[in-house]
Amino acid sequence: MTTAPTRPPGKAERIASAAPSRLGAFLRLRELPVTVALIALVIITTVVNPLFLSPQGVKDLLLNATIVIILAVGQALVIITRNVDLSVGSILGLVAFGTGTLFATVPGIPIVVVFLAGMLLGALLGAINGLLVTVAKVPALVITLGTLYIYRGLNNAWAGGTQYFAGDRPDAFGSLSVDTVLGFPLITLIAVVVVVIVAVYLAGTRPGRDLYAIGSDPDAAKLFGIPVSRRVFLAFLTNGVLAGLAGVLYASRFNSVGATTGSGLELAVVAAAVVGGVAIFGGSGSVVGAAMGALLLTTITSALTALRVDKFWQEAIVGVLILSAIIIDRIASVRSARKLRISEARNV
Amino acid sequence: MQTESMTADDGPPEPRLTLSGAVKAFGPVVALADGNIEILPGEIHALVGENGAGKSTLVKILAGLYRLDAGEFQVDGQPVSFRTVADSKAAGISVIYQEPTLFPDLTVAENIFIGRQPKGRLGLISRAAMRTAARDLFDQLGVRIDPNRVAEGLSIADQQIIEIAKAISLDAKVLVMDEPTAALSGVEVERLFQVARNLRTQGAGILFISHRFDEVFALCDRITVMRDGRYIATHVTSMVTVDAIVHEMVGRDVGALFPKEVAPVGDTVLSVQGLGRAGVFADVTFEVKAGEVVALAGLVGAGRTEVARAVFGIDPYDRGTVEFAGTLLKPHSPKAAIDAGMGFVPEDRRKQGLVMDLSVGRNTALTLRDRVARFGIINGRAERAAAAEWGRRLQVKTTSQEYAVSTLSGGNQQKVVLAKWLATDPKFLIVDEPTRGIDVGTKSEVHRLISDLANRGIAILMISSELPEVLGMADRVLVMHEGRITAELSRAEATPESIMHAATASLERTQ
């Protein structure tokens, strides 16, 4: 689940030497800063306002975070390959509006079919991103900035002034965001399943590990015979599927869907991944970290309310978190570069 | 890797790899005219030659990076033709480069097994199995590297060991080590040799490329010499001397290709005392006088460019002083160097010497922007006039000053770089590999230019890896080896042999 293995060493004689390095490995965990920040935030807020951690409070927190978590997981996949997908907000918008349209125009359509259709549309839009990035060899930042506007434009043209409201959709669909199992909303459980599946794929399969190699050094990856284009394409496709899923869940969670649904979400999603320890230049990080980042960013909003801090500070604080994440990364790499130079200085 | 022995009754063992009559050209430039190499199982085979002898090209052919234009290439008696690096690997050839390319974010174990990680339960990657396999490889090599740590920050020596471990796990029959010891310390070199000897015992064929004769003679069974892209000879190490090898490496007619005119030598312009930078160079002391061309010779990686960059203020230095025209020069400040009257013509003109997309004229006037500007705004007419004048003086061949400099030939680009610096009226010029990648006709033009500059009283420090250029142009030759000056030779003392001996440190300091 993480790039730094934490399993016990296999042979007895190595335990002595491994103990300090396991502590070191733990301290170097990329998910550590975001976890510490999240725990600290929750503790401080709860001390000031005990209602913050009430069952209803927790449920609201998770509901708010769910959609960003799913998007951040997909985004992490893409960022790990040293790419980025800025079009996820627009994909979510199109799928959410499509979901509303489906329920309104095909009464009695099975909910499963709606989910499949949403994910299929997401897959198509993600595949377009992936194709453009891998074939045109233009940086993903530019490509997906383009598709961000194209997909949003399609959404505008399609929706016009139309909006669909919760009342247009079957109750069973809306209750996905209301019913809970053991205190967890159903849609949050869907997000957890997504996190687990993608985390296992990234940590435990060869194609998953290839994504890290690609992001770590794309040219070397090509030299090693890793099918770079195919893997990057699949990362964008998967991200599209997850954005589609998030779009369907958005329609379940929120009252209205229309032409502007999901606008601006992409930046929050990239922020969540970066704050969660996914290196913006690829090669390291995990989806668990990205999910934690999403949870942290959404928790801040509620926490600031509970702490009676002016809500307008929220964005400034998110900015500070992003910079901190990047600075922590930078310090770590400068330190290891200095270590390398010193070890080589012995040679003359 | 199976064990094979070279016993007499087996007859001569079949070569692991044979390359004969190999030709590789890039446009008009023939990098390899006649490459031959034969590597036997259980042999460490050295490949030696000057810079530009064609060793790197040969390695890249073995690695599958270049395709042969002509010649025969066999592995285990089977003719092969590699399209990609993967083909070469599949045939059992592994190349260990001087600076390996690992994935910095992945663990050591994963770097060895990327793409073929051992699987465990549920078809998922078993980190434990991968770690154990990596440890087994390191045990086999007799080294201790933590398989769990990430590759970032590993020393070059450890990175090479990881590449070797990967090669073993791929069942490589032939290991090519391209100057593996260049960045290693004494202990690390010894460890690498031990690994190489173990592999030899196990029947691998190793091609070892090195500039250090002590290492070649200590480690290798046979030595193949190359010169100017051609195979010269193969010797059994025990039956040949260093002198004979050096002679074969440089033994060409050093004609008066680039005669520098004798210029009156003036005052000392640059005086470098005890310059040092940890891990890069040490104890560098020399002078350059007005009207003099001093060559800084040595093998690639000896630290010549690094010294020049420190003198010019691009890189910092830890020890020593740089005195320019009688006053101490502020360290680590190219601006101070330029203001004092220094110029630097870098080795890589495309990246460091020119702005490729800007016009010829604008590139020429780049150093003049203060002089052609009024109130910080560049006067286009003054800029064009200055550029045109210098272009004319140096005979830059372009149809218009407005064309992007990237459209010029290499020789003319170099003239633009020279023009750029001459326009500042320098007292001292550093030229780093001034004719690299320039065709023969233009080469002599560049040399004539440099000679002219010396005549006008400019002091010149010329870094060059080409012996004929050094011998033809230099009034004095400083030879560097591994960050130190190992010889200072007058024009009369400088011969191919004396320079090559000092550059490989195979003789005592001759000064």
In this prediction, residues A292-320 reach a mean pLDDT of 84
Name the minimum distance, in Å, from the CA of B388 to any CA of chain A. Answer: 38
Q: Which residue of A has its CA nearest to B189?
A: A347
pLDDT in tens, B185-210: 777 888 889 889 988 998 999 999 98
Inspect the interface and report whether the beta carbons of B106 and A339 lie closer than 8 Å. no
pLDDT at B439: 65
Report the predicted TM-score, pTM, of the whole model to 2 decimal places: 0.74
More confident residue, A311 or A234: A234
Q: Calculate the alpha carbon distances from A338 to A326, B146, B439, B489 in Å.
A: 18, 20, 41, 37
Name the minimum distance, in Å, from the CA of B126 to any CA of chain A. Answer: 8
Contacts of A346 in chain B (CB under 8 A): 185, 279
Q: Which of B454, B19, B498 is nearest to B231 (CA)?
A: B19
With a cut of 80, say whether residue A79 has pLDDT above it: yes
Name the minimum distance, in Å, from the CA of B106 to any CA of chain A. Answer: 7
Residues 6+ apart with CB under 8 A from A220: A213, B101, B102, B103
d(CA B226, CA B211): 12
Q: Exposure pattern of B179-190 as b/e (b: 16+ CB <10 Å)? A: bbbbbbbeebbe
Residues 6+ apart with CB under 8 A from A264: A89
Q: Which of B63, B309, B100, B298 is nearest to B184 (CA)?
A: B100
Query: What is the number of helices (H) and of strands (E) in chain A?
Result: 14, 4
pLDDT at B254: 45
Inspect the interface and report whether the beta carbons of B183 and A206 lie closer than 8 Å. no
In this prediction, residues A282-302 reach a mean pLDDT of 91
Mean pLDDT check: name the lowest of A331-340, B263-272, B365-374: A331-340
In this prediction, residues B149-177 reach a mean pLDDT of 87
d(CA B47, CA B226): 7
Q: Calculate the alpha carbon distances from A245 to A55, A107, A118 in Å.
A: 26, 21, 6
Inspect the interface and report whether the beta carbons of B155 and A344 lie closer than 8 Å. yes
Is residue A302 within 8 Å of A60, Cβ to Cβ?
A: yes
Residues 6+ apart with CB under 8 A from B29: none
Mutation to test the A interface, candidates B148, B179, B307, most A Cβ within 10 Å: B148
With a cut of 80, say whether residue A17 has pLDDT above it: no
Residues 6+ apart with CB under 8 A from A336: B152, B153
Tokens representing residue B118 in the block: 């051992």
Decide if B86 touches A, using CB distance below 8 A: yes
Contacts of B117 in chain A (CB under 8 A): 206, 209
Pairing relationship of beta strands B293-298 and B476-481 according to DSSP bridges: parallel
d(CA B126, CA B113): 11
pLDDT at B511: 36
d(CA A285, CA A2): 7
DSSP-derived secondary structure letter, B404: B
pLDDT at A65: 93
In this prediction, residues B75-91 reach a mean pLDDT of 88
DSSP-derived secondary structure letter, B323: E
d(CA A31, CA A275): 9
d(CA B495, CA B246): 12
Is residue B503 within 8 Å of B297, Cβ to Cβ?
A: yes
pLDDT in tens, B223-247: 999 988 899 999 999 999 888 888 8
pLDDT at B2: 43
Contacts of A284 in chain B (CB under 8 A): 105
Chain A, chain B: beta-carbon pairs less than 8 Å apart:
105
More confident residue, A157 or A344: A157
Q: Which residue of A has its CA nearest to B283?
A: A348
With a cut of 90, say whether residue B180 has pLDDT above it: no
Residues 6+ apart with CB under 8 A from A289: A30, A31, A34, A76, A273, A276, A277, A278
d(CA B220, CA B211): 13
More confident residue, B439 or A244: A244
pLDDT in tens, B121-158: 888 999 999 999 999 999 888 888 899 888 887 888 88
DSSP-derived secondary structure letter, B2: -
Residue B285 CB coordination number (10 Å): 14
DSSP-derived secondary structure letter, A50: G
In this prediction, residues B378-396 reach a mean pLDDT of 79
Q: What is the DSSP string of B144-179?
A: ---TTSBSTT--HHHHHHHHHHHHHHTT-SEEEEES
- Select the residue of A25, A205, A283 nearest B105 (Cβ to Cβ): A283
Mean pLDDT check: name the lowest of A188-192, A196-200, A316-320, B425-429: A316-320
Decide if B102 touches A, using CB distance below 8 A: yes
pLDDT at B252: 55
* Percent of chain A at pLDDT exceeding 70: 88
Q: Which residue of A has its CA nearest to B84?
A: A223
- Domains of chain A, start order: 65-328 (1.10.3470)
In this prediction, residues B271-290 reach a mean pLDDT of 92
Inspect the interface and report whether the beta carbons of A217 and B280 lie closer than 8 Å. no
Mean pLDDT check: name the lowest of A251-260, A268-277, B20-29, B335-344: B20-29
Decide if B187 touches A, using CB distance below 8 A: no
| Residue type at position B396 | V
In this prediction, residues A281-285 reach a mean pLDDT of 90
Interior CA angle at B238 toward B233 and B243, to 5°?
Answer: 60
Is residue B284 within 8 Å of B259, Cβ to Cβ?
A: no
pLDDT at B388: 83
Inspect the interface and report whether the beta carbons of B101 and A10 lie closer than 8 Å. no
Tokens representing residue B474 in the block: 């230099």
Q: With the CA atoms of B395, B399, B400 and B406 taken in that order, what torsion angle do they form, in degrees rounded to the nearest 10?
A: -80
Name the pLDDT band for B73 (thresholds 50, 70, 90).
very high
Residue A108 CB coordination number (10 Å): 6
Q: Exposure pattern of B150-176 as b/e (b: 16+ CB <10 Å)? A: bbbbbbbbbbbbbbbbbbbbbebbbbb
Using CA of residue B150, residue B155, residue B157, residue B160, what is the dihedral sign? Answer: positive
Is residue B107 within 8 Å of B149, Cβ to Cβ?
A: yes
Q: List residues in chain A touching B: CB distance below 8 A.
A: 3-5, 7, 10, 21, 25, 200, 203-206, 209-210, 212-213, 215-217, 219-221, 223-226, 279, 283-284, 333, 336-337, 339-348
- Select the residue of A21, A279, A336 nearest B146 (Cβ to Cβ): A21
Residue B7 CB coordination number (10 Å): 8
Residue B12 CB coordination number (10 Å): 8
Whose structure tokens read 């630097």?
B344
- Domains of chain B, start order: 35-101+175-205+212-252 (3.40.50.300), 257-341+427-511 (3.40.50.300), 357-425 (no CATH)
In this prediction, residues B477-489 reach a mean pLDDT of 92
Contacts of A207 in chain B (CB under 8 A): none
For chain A, what is the mean pLDDT?
Answer: 86
Q: Burial level of B136, CB count in 10 A (0-12/13-18/19+)?
A: middle
Q: Among the ranges B253-262, B361-370, B502-511, which has the highest mean pLDDT value?
A: B361-370
With a cut of 50, say whether residue B7 has pLDDT above it: no
Mean pLDDT check: name the lowest of A247-256, B216-225, B315-324, B387-396: B387-396
Is residue A61 within 8 Å of A234, Cβ to Cβ?
A: no
Inspect the interface and report whether the beta carbons of B114 and A213 lie closer than 8 Å. yes
Residues 6+ apart with CB under 8 A from A164: A97, A100, A101, A103, A104, A251, A256, A257, A258
Reported ipTM: 0.79
φ and ψ of B359, to 5 deg: -70, 160
Mean pLDDT check: name the lowest of A140-154, A155-169, B221-235, B257-271: B257-271
Contacts of B154 in chain A (CB under 8 A): 340
In this prediction, residues A76-98 reach a mean pLDDT of 97
pLDDT at B441: 63
Tokens representing residue A276 in the block: 């969660």
For chain B, what is the mean pLDDT?
Answer: 85
pLDDT at A105: 92
- Select the residue of A21, A219, A284 nearest B105 (Cβ to Cβ): A284
Contacts of A213 in chain B (CB under 8 A): 103, 106, 114-115
Q: Which residue of A has its CA nearest to B116?
A: A206
